[in-house]
Structures are given as C-alpha cells and as structure tokens.
Structure 1
Amino acid sequence: MGEGRDRSETSLFVWQRFGRPVPPVQNVVVKKVGIVGRTLQTTNQLILNEAVNFSNFKRALRADDQKLFDALFAQARQHTAAISMADHALPFESILLAMLIEQQRQIESLQKKLNAC
C-alpha cells in the first residue's frame, strides 16, 4: 500500500532547454522530497542533439555546404573527451571549440605543406 502511494505521488517531468523539449534521456523523476536522479546524455548524444537542433539550418544550405556541415560535427566527435570535461560551458560552445581546433589543425597542416614547397 505504501509503495502504491509513493508511485502515485511520483511525477515525471521533461525539462525544457531554450524553449525546446529535451530528449527523454534527460527525464527527471520528482518525489515530494525533491529530485531523485537524472540520466545525463553522453557527449556523442549531445553532439547529435545539437546537429539535430540545426537541421533546419542545414536543410537551407546548398548540398556542398551540407556536407561541410556534417564534416564539422564529425570533427567535433573527435574531441568527445575534452567536450565532456567542459562542464562549465554550454554543450554547443564546447562543440564549436572542438570544431575550431580541427579547423586550426587543417590550416597548420596546409601551411606546413606550403612552406615545404
């Protein structure tokens, strides 16, 4: 009986971020005593979520640019460990920084090739 009462008092909330519903992996179970627990997204899920959030933007791009868009997010996935350690930043800020690191790596590689010629 006590178990049934606890279950009826338990509510499931889907938190919202920036006016958009958060995927179900971030559901929070709340009891009278407060928040019980939350499952956090993995870094790969965060990156995928941000790419999905920009799907309308991607759709508006030319086909060539859509491939570049996908390549940028693929580059960000090469830095999942660093992104996961940046807990003070918004996920998209960390993803952008990872993209910039990969872009800088490519620039420096091209500069070395030019200097070698």
Structure 2
Amino acid sequence: MGRTNPTYRDTIRGLEDQWQPYRRALRADDQPHFDRLFEHARAHADASGYLNHQLAEVPLLISVVLEQERRLCELEQAVDEAEGGT
C-alpha cells in the first residue's frame, strides 16, 4: 500500500502553488529569487519532514535562513581570501 500522509515535499509543492499569485505579481527580476527560496526549502525537505512541525511554513523558513546563512559564510570566506586573510 502507498502512503496515506503527504510527504513534506508534497507540502512544499502545495505551499509553492498557494504563493503563485504573489510570484506572478513580483517584478520579473525578483521571480528567480523567489523560486530559489523554494529550492532552499526542497534542499532541506528530509530534515523538515523529520521534524513534522504543525506549521509547514516554519521548517520552510528555517531552511531558507539556513541556506542564506551558509551562502553568507561562503561569501565572507571568499572576501577574506581575496583580501589575503586566512
């Protein structure tokens, strides 16, 4: 038998569908950035699904913040290296 409960990836798809009117209203140059936020959420879907939080938006937002923190650290490291730091 198949699963009776939707996966967290299904939940992300549903949330993304709900936000499509907002996405369409964004300027064209902001739409790829909006899409990337959901890519971040999908990248951490396994951990988010394991959490099984009552509000699906909470782990989605934490996933986005985590990816942005990782990216920020990478950029800071690249700047340090470019400046000749360690």
TM-score (normalizing by structure 1): 0.64
Give the share of equivalent positions with the same residue, in percent: 34
Instruction: Count how many residue pairs are aligned between Structure 1 and Structure 2.
Output: 80
Kindly report the root-mean-square deviation, in angstroms, between the aligned alpha carbons of the 2 structures: 1.4
Other-structure match for 1:90: 55
> Which structure is higher in RCO with an 8 Å CA cutoff and minimum separation 6?
2
The answer for unaligned runs of 5 or more in structure 2 is none
The structure with the larger Rg is: 1
**Residue 68 (str. 1) matches residue 37 (str. 2):** no
More helix by share: 2
Cα offset, 1:91, TM superposition = 0.7
More strand by share: 1
Secondary structure of the 2:44 match is helix
TM-score (normalizing by structure 2): 0.85
Q: Which runs of 4+ in 1 moved over 4 A?
A: none
Other-structure match for 2:10: 45
The answer for unaligned runs of 5 or more in structure 1 is 1-37
Secondary structure of the 2:29 match is helix
